[in-house]
Amino acid sequence: MRARGARPVNEARTRTRIQRRNTGAILEAALEVFSAHGFRGATLDQIAEVAGLSKPNLLYYFPSKEAIHLELLTGLLDLWLDPLRALDPAGEPVAEILAYVRRKLELSRDFPRESRLFANEVLQGAPRLSGVIAGDLRALVDEKAGVISAWAAAGRIRPVHPRHLIFSIWALTQHYADFDVQVRLVLGPAEPDPFPEAGRHLTALFTRLLAP
Nearest alpha carbon to residue 130 among 58, 73, 61 = 73
How far is residue 194's CA from residue 183's CA, in Å, rounded to a whole number? 8
* DSSP string for residues in 141-196: HHHHHHHHHHHHHTTSS----HHHHHHHHHHHHHHHHHTHHHHHHHH-TT-S--HH
Residue 128 has pLDDT above 50, yes or no: yes
69-210: CATH topology? Tetracycline Repressor; domain 2 (1.10.357)
Q: For residue 78, what pLDDT band results from cuts at 50, 70 and 90?
A: confident
Residue 46 has pLDDT above 50, yes or no: yes
Question: How many CA atoms does the CB half-sphere of 149 hold within 13 Å?
Answer: 10
Q: For residue 11, what pLDDT band results from cuts at 50, 70 and 90?
A: very low
How far is residue 53's CA from residue 5's CA, in Å, rounded to a whole number? 28
How far is residue 44's CA from residue 132's CA, in Å, rounded to a whole number? 25
Neighbour-count burial of 59, counting CB atoms closer than 10 A to its CB (0-12 exposed, 13-18 middle, 19+ buried): middle
pLDDT at position 7 is 45
Q: Within the chain, which residue ranges are assigned CATH 1.10.10.60?
A: 1-63
Q: Residues 142-162: pLDDT tens digits?
A: 999 999 999 999 999 999 999
1-63: CATH topology? Arc Repressor Mutant, subunit A (1.10.10)
How far is residue 35's CA from residue 78's CA, in Å, rounded to a whole number? 18
What pTM did the predictor assign? 0.83
Q: For residue 15, what pLDDT band results from cuts at 50, 70 and 90?
A: low
Whether the Cβ atoms of residue 37 and residue 113 lie closer than 8 Å to each other:
no
